[in-house]
Chain A
Amino acid sequence: MVYLGDGDHEGRELRNRFQYAFIVVVGVFTLILFRLTYLQIIQGDTFRNLSESNRVRIRVVTAPRGIIYDAKGRILVDNRPAFDVKLIPEDVRDVAEAIARVGRLLNLSEEEIADRVAKASPPAPPWRPVLIKGDVSRDELALVETRKLDLPGVFVDVGQRRAYRYGKLAAHLLGYMGEISEAELKRPEYRDYRQGEFIGKVGVERRYETYLRGVHGQKHIEVDAAGREVAFLREIPPIPGKDLYLTIDLDLQLAAEEAMQGKSGAVIAIDPRNGDVLAMVSAPAFDPDVFARGITAAEWQALTRDPRKPLNNKGIQGTYPPGSTWKAIVAAAGLHAKAITPDTALHCGGTFPFGRRVFRDWKLSGHGAVTLYDSLVQSCDVYYYRLGDKLGVDRIAEEALGMGFGQLTGIELEGEKPGLVPSTAWKQRRFKQPWFPGETISVAIGQGATTVTPIQLVNAYASLANGGKLWRPHVVSRVVDIDGTVVYERQPELIGLTPTTPAANRAIARGLLGVLEDPKGTAHSQRSKDFRMAGKTGTAQASSRLYSVKDEDKIPWHLRDHAWFVAFSPEVDAEIAVVTLAEHGGHGSSAAAPVVKAVIARYWELKRMRENVQAPIGGRG
């Protein structure tokens, strides 16, 4: 059969309609051809001119980054103008030669020059400026400006850099800025970031990046074929970043920094009533400005290779054996389990034989009949050997977990460590071994596998003086818009309540007050007549030292013990709690307690000055 045959009526109808289809196709193609003729032949020269002279380029206008204030509204971090030397590859004939010339002028190393040449070569678009050296000094700026004629394609861009008003002050908490990495660029949260942009890398700068950054603006500029700016079209202004108000009190921070001068370790002061971090020092510190202007490889290596680890925020990232500061936690466990009452007297004869081992007290002659109060005041080891033996490791672990140890406090800073609270279950999991009762004896005085961070310790001690509340520590109190609108306000956040009873907390706090006020107290020398404070010393073995050295100065620095002191003031309804860890500092009372005392003293002094309020004074009888 012949479909669509000539004689077929149906076929003829369809054929007719196909003729229309042909007409439509021919018609449309003719129109397109007319349009192309118009655009390319008739208007061709006009459009060619437009394409050559009317190139619109979009320059990003960086938004001023948010300012960081302390709790009293004093500027800690803001921005300063910075001069960046840049080069546009398409404006020079030999990119490598041009970069080498300006690079040598600015004292760049050969590697750095090679790096810039690589960044300026394809596939990078030739019209995109390449940074040769950021944040040049006034002298270097003058050098470039005076030789401008010899340096085609080179120009100076005024940008902005972070200005850290107090240098290394609170460096770990504030954090630092750095160029966004390739890996970060691929992450969804950095979707609208450009290569070469500076972002917060650590600390508050990182955690509050989205608030601080603001929204970049754009400048639309007409440029000619050579990339020269011809006309300014329009600007979309940037929206400045939002400002942060920290909980940190600059005066207190300065006092803590000064007290830690020359030491290695951490100081944290918090408000036990709400978890505000009032001061946070990690020593030694780095200089965030070095990062703001672009750190060199040598500077970075020096920081990472320093045995005192200046890049670590030791207050939240350092985990240390708690030493005798742990006794308050074991005491809480004992009271909680009703293994003791505050008045239970345990005998200390200087030694505690257990199995085939003999555990010694730090005081070889012993403390005699020891109550809870005496055990804390004199830091009696045997009392806690006995108590630990009665309790068993799991009841200590349970109490410690309830007081926030072995887990993150959740402070809004990166890299916090959880520390370790050993238990029978932990040992089985970790070593596939049963727990040996003898290990409990060491755990009871804060040695053994237990490790804590300073922030955990100060938070747990704060709970002894605020009715058992465990607040989540935090460093930012509010975020404020450019027009003063508060866009975020931090409310105190309760992690939980500790398992100890208020009576138990009071009994322990009384003992801790005795540590300073009682003439027998281990930190009696550190008491102040201006205010009352309750605290505990601690000495944590940094290495398992099997020998005894009389003269501590002869022990190598990295083998010396860590010194702890943690205290709150006053001993009930405390307003401030401070912890100090002096790495390899020796004894708690001599190395760490003076730092804590200095911070607390400064706190009351400031309060008196600001509010005319007297510190709760007075000793015990």
Chain B
Amino acid sequence: MFDRRVTTNFDWTLFWLTYAIALIGLVNLVSASRPDAVRQLQWVVIGSVVLAVFLVVHYHVIGRAAYFGYAVVLAMLAGVLLFGRTGGGAQRWLPLGPVAVQPSEFAKLAVIVVLARWFSRDGRGDEPLGLADLIVPGLLAGVPTVMIMKQPDLGTALIIVFIFCAMVAIHGIRLKALLLIVGTGLAASPVVWRHLKPYQRSRLLTFMNPEADPQGTGYHILQSKIAIGSGRLFGKGFTEGTQSQLQFLPEHHTDFAFAVWGEEWGFLGAFLLLLLYFVLILWGLNIALKAKDRLGTLLAYGITAYLFLHVAINIGMVTGVLPVVGVPLVLMSYGGSSVVTTLACVGLLLNISMRRYMF
């Protein structure tokens, strides 16, 4: 299974890109919340071990274990709903020994792997998907999505839905099926609206008109925009960001970490970080394109979609272009489950990348 050729083909670019971003994330956390920076470092170390595991085990083996891993994650999600710990108004945490984990983060990876496995199974061609072909994958993505909505965690549920859409899109879908789904979605939106929690609704409404209530729900967005904008070209300097240091910024170490970075390092710092993410995502797409089989392509593509969606939604959210839905910025936001999942994803990407030359 493991071959010496593997090391010669190791994807150092991807590796260094990932750890460069992780390092920036740690530096930023030192400014935002020092004790969390130390804990985040511990999570990066733990995540690196997980990365190594996902790198060494051939991704075919991981593909074969897809349903098992998926079942474990479902069990954990059920555990959260039954006896999860509450944090920040939602029940997202599952106590596991000394730490509490957020199984909804693991669910993202589990859904990617299980969908890649399903869409790459033998005996089916590359025909565009019809409605009937969407039933099984729809259920595979839908069950954890509903469970995560129950917590409630709108951001994560949306990410899974988007990952599903992205994987269906790359596979190809019949126009008729697409129109039908979009139509039903629009028709169902009033029902979904009624099932949203009041705070989720108010965030969406605030997004439409953020200046309406600067001291209430629009506060987050406004303060975040002030933080980023006030960084100007060169930033205010490390630990000099008044917005974050004076606690005007809410959750500045988690979902709003990018605003801290933008305030203290300015446009140049934000541009650098954006560039790193951009190259990372293009690199991931390239790995997907060059993978040696369909499973590798779909896995690498799904993971890249995961990275892209987090970056796009989170930065869109903190710059005031998208509603605040609670999506972490990979490797920048504080959070053990997110860091571990992201590094597992990168491990899998490296896995696919270095095995593309072997037959």
Contact = CB atoms under 8 A, between A and B. Distances in A.
Interface string B209-250: 000000100000000011111111100000000110111100
A431 interface: no
Interface string A43-78: 111111011101110000000000000000000000
Given A47-B226, A50-B226, A51-B227, 5 more contacts: A21-B285, A29-B274, A32-B315, A44-B229, A55-B246
B246 A3 contact: no
A43 B126 contact: no
A614 B222 CA distance: 74
Contacts of B263: 51
Contact of A40 (B125, B233, B243, B281): B233
A22 interface: yes
A52 B242 contact: yes
14 contacts: A3-B292, A4-B289, A4-B297, A17-B169, A25-B281, A28-B308, A32-B315, A35-B319, A35-B321, A41-B232, A41-B267, A51-B229, A125-B246, A234-B215
8 A-B pairs with least C-beta separation: A47-B229, A44-B232, A51-B230, A40-B267, A39-B229, A10-B126, A48-B230, A47-B230
Contact of A56 (B169, B215, B281, B315): B215
A54 B219 CA distance: 13
Interface in A496-532: none
Interface in B85-111: none
Contacts of B321: 31, 35
Nearest to B308: A25
Contacts, number: 121
Nearest to A123: B34
B285 A25 contact: yes
Contacts of A20: 169
Interface string B312-325: 10011001010000
B230 A50 contact: yes
Contacts of B294: 3
Given A17-B170, A127-B246, A234-B215, A48 B232 contact: yes
Contacts of B293: 3
B228 A39 contact: yes
A129 to B, nearest CB: 14
Contacts of A234: 215
Given A18-B289, A36-B274, A46 B125 contact: no
Contacts of A50: 226, 229-230
Q: Chain B: interface secondary structure?
A: helix
A220 interface: yes
B83 interface: no
Interface in B314-359: 315-316, 319, 321, 359
B185 interface: no
A33 interface: yes
A32 B319 contact: yes
B69 interface: no
A609 interface: no
Contacts of A15: 289
Contacts of B231: 40, 44
A188 to B, nearest CB: 12
Given A32-B274, A44-B232, A47-B226, A1 B359 contact: yes
Nearest to B312: A28
B289 A40 contact: no
Interface residues of B, number: 50
Contacts of A10: 125-126
A149 interface: no
Given A28-B312, A32-B274, A40-B266, A55 B285 contact: no
Nearest to A22: B285
Contacts of A358: none
A220 B214 CA distance: 11
A611 interface: no
A48 B247 contact: no
**Most chain A CB neighbours (cut-off 10 Å) among B126, B172, B226, B247:** B226
B47 interface: no
Contacts of A183: none
A139 to B, nearest CB: 36
Contact of B170 (A14, A40, A43, A220): A14
A233 B321 CA distance: 26
A10 B172 CA distance: 11
A296 B293 CA distance: 77
B294 to A, nearest CB: 7
B270 interface: yes
B314 to A, nearest CB: 10
A549 interface: no
Contacts of A21: 166, 170, 285, 301
A33 B291 CA distance: 30
B355 to A, nearest CB: 12
Nearest to A10: B126
Given A17-B170, A56-B215, A36 B297 contact: no
Contacts of B126: 10, 13-14
A36 B270 contact: yes
A37 interface: yes
A225 interface: yes
B282 interface: yes
Contacts of B315: 32
A275 to B, nearest CB: 40
Contacts of B285: 18, 21-22, 25
Contacts of A28: 308, 312
A44 B247 contact: no
B68 to A, nearest CB: 26
B29 interface: no
Contacts of B274: 29, 32-33, 36
B319 A36 contact: yes
Interface in B255-287: 262-263, 266-267, 270-271, 274, 277-278, 281-282, 285
